[in-house]
Structure 1
Amino acid sequence: MASLDLYVYYRVRDDDASALLARVTALQQSLARECGIVTGLKRRPESREGRQTWMEVYLSVPPDFEAKLEQALSSQRLSSLIDGARHTEHFVDIPPCA
């Protein structure tokens, strides 16, 4: 079975970015330790109308990862700092041709 990577993107108000950064960093560090995965955090280089677009990256996640992520999101209370919905995308590696 191919390795599954998870990408989550959303918007955050410029004024909430530093508070959100602290919470997302703590969330990702905890999940990386618990699940043995590599995490990352990215954002678009520009802000639009006082909002930034952020992307959380979770590589080679285990099958039960999304439930753990939801639980961690709730405990870190991220939704209060996110402007709108979180959007989740799944990707797999393309194997090289033989």
Structure 2
Amino acid sequence: MDCYIYFKAGTALEEKVIAAEKSLQQLVLARLGIRGKLQRRPESANDLHTWMEVYANVPGDFSALLEKLVQQTGLAELQYSERRTEYFLDVDVCA
């Protein structure tokens, strides 16, 4: 199962968001053994960037584990919107 999390943050906070995300990604890798990926929409709207965290092959309790790590990084204080989490499963269409 793959996890996709998106949120908005002010464009003026971009460097702080990147620093907090770097800390988060390092914690996730060290504690959970999962390498995440950070993306951002190329355009901003109303002085807000939309950010996306992507994590592949996560366990069922990943959200709870990740939330504890997010609180350690200060990322939650930088966000304009709440974090939206969605999960997707791979579907083998060649079987």
TM-score by length of 1: 0.89
Query: How much identity, in percent, do the aligned residues show?
Result: 39
Q: Which structure 2 residue ranges, 5 or more long, are not aligned?
A: none
Q: Against the structure 1 CA distance between its residues 46 and 94, is the aligned structure 2 distance closer, same or farther, given a 3 Å change threshold? A: same
Partners of 2:28 and 2:35 within 8 A in 1: no
* Partner of residue 93, structure 2: 96
TM alignment of 1:38-49, pairs within 5 A: 38-49=35-46
- The whole-number CA distance in structure 2 between the counterparts of 1:78 and 1:34 is 18
Aligned equivalents of 2:49, 2:74: Cα separation in 1: 19
Tell whether the 8 Å contact from 1:35 to 1:62 is kept in structure 2 after alignment.
no
What is the correspondence of 1:64-79 to structure 2 with a 5 Å cutoff? 64-79=61-76
Shift of 1:64: 2.5
In the comparison of the two structures, how many residue pairs are matched? 95
Aligned-partner Cα distance in 2 for 1:36–1:75: 17
Q: What is the RMSD computed on CA atoms of the aligned residues?
A: 1.1
Gaps of 5+ in 1: none
Once superposed, which parts of structure 1, at least 4 consecutive aligned residues long, lie more than 3 Å away? none
Q: What is the rounded CA distance, in whole Å, between the counterparts of 1:66 and 1:48 in structure 2?
A: 27
